[in-house]
Every structure is written in C-alpha cells, then in structure tokens.
Amino acid sequence: MSDERPVHPEPSPERYGRLRVCTDDLGPAGWVSEGPPGPGAFGTVAGVAAPGFAAYARLLHPAELGERPVRWDTVAAAHGTVVTPLTDWHEVIGVDRDYHNADEYGLPGVWDEHATEGPTPPVVARALIPLLARHTATPGRCWFGLWAGYGRRGFDGVPTFPMPNRDKVLLAGPLADAVSPVSEDEFAELPDLWWPQDLAWCVGGDVDLVSTYVGGSPELIADLLAAPELEAHPVLPGDRLG
C-alpha cells in the first residue's frame, strides 16, 4: 500500500478556488464600497451586509464538539444562558469578553471549540447557498470580496476596493462556487462579502466576527430564519455587531 499523500495543485494566481480574481475592473464593487452613509456605519449590521435592504438576519457560526458543529442554543442550554439576536458568544458561555474568568475550556459532552471566528464557515455556507440561489435571478453571476490579509494566499499587487472595516480583493463566479476555495486548501477562508449581479441580497462577515450577516428581501430572511440547518436571528441594519 502506498503511503504517498495526495498532492493538491498549486493555486492559480488568477483563481481563488474556482472564483476568478479580478485585477482589471473593480467597478462591480462600487455599490457596496461607496454606498449611502448612515445605517451602513462601521460596527453595525449594515456596515458588513450593505445598507438599503428591507430585512436582515444574523447567522451564528457554530461551536464544535469533536469537529461536529454545535448550535449556540445547545451550548446556552447547558450553561444556563439564553441566546437573543444580539447575544455575544462570551455571554453564551458565561465568561467576560476576554475569557479571563473562564474556569475551563469547553464543556465536556457539549462543546470543545469556540464558535468559529472569521468569514462564513463552509458548513454554514453550504446550507446558505441554495437559499440565496432561490432569491436572485443571477445565481450564475456573483461577486465576492475577500480580505487580502488572511495570509493563506498572497495577493501582492492585486488591486482592492475600500470597505469601512478592511479593503477587499474582488472575486467573481457562480454562487455555487463560493465554497470552492476549500477544495484546494481545507483551511482557506471563504469570501467576506457575497452579492449577485442583480443586487438582490448581500452576505457579509469579517475576520473578527463569529456571525455572518445577510441583507435581502423579507422573503429571503424568512427562509433563513426557518432553515433548520442554520441558526439565524432577525436583526436591524443599525444593530451592533455580535
């Protein structure tokens, strides 16, 4: 039996997974990087998921137990706490923001890894994609923003577009390919921003967040809140980020 490990091809400088890296025209990002002021202020829901949508949802990134996803409400029940639309992860596990008063890491049989920090985790993205696809006329033509500072892929010399939190590299491709970067590198970060050509919705996240935010129609948000694979809560565009 061979003990050789599979070799993944070197990533193409023109691709991030199957998404195309845009280096010539950043115009499609103008609507989100130069949008109206006010509700889209830094540190608010609309600051990461774009202002102007009729409704918004917060998608909680799961904790883990033995690499299996664990919902926040499951963790909260075990700790005697409650999850609301604006609850922070440290409040769920009953410690201060810097975990200084944490007696132990995790809770045996309930969770052993904190809620995933960063852009949308693949387990959430895979559940989200089919729902988003039903609420756009252009699922085959979508745009994505990725912070170049994640470090697992060099973007030296690639132009970026400005955002209130961090400037982004612009990527393009079908909605179905949003998770494709993990096919080359299982630890690759997914894009922080997603939006379709028809601007029907916007998905936003950040390296420092344990939630993903979605702005869109009331019908889309209702679907997200009802999806059993997602742990979602309704939020307002001016709400602080969890």
Q: Taking a C-beta distance cutoff of 8 angstroms, is the pair 163, 215 a contact? A: no
| 62-to-107, 170, 186, 211, 220 alpha-carbon distances in Å | 15, 27, 17, 9, 21
**Cα angle vertex 182, ends 180, 186, to 5°?**
170
Q: Is the pLDDT of residue 90 over 70?
A: yes
- For 132-165, what is each residue's pLDDT tens digit? 999 999 999 999 999 988 866 778 889 999 887 7
Spatial distance between the Cα atoms of 212 and 229, rounded to a whole number of angstroms: 14
Report the pLDDT averaged over residues 170-188.
Answer: 94
Spatial distance between the Cα atoms of 83 and 76, rounded to a whole number of angstroms: 7
Name, in order, each residue with C-beta under 8 angstroms of 190's C-beta and a sequence gap of 6 or more. 119, 120, 121, 122, 125, 178, 179, 181, 182
Average pLDDT taken over every residue of the chain? 88
Q: Taking a C-beta distance cutoff of 8 angstroms, is the pair 15, 145 a contact? A: no
* pLDDT for the residue 154: 79
pLDDT bucket at 38, cuts 50 / 70 / 90: very low
Q: Is the pLDDT of residue 101 over 50?
A: yes
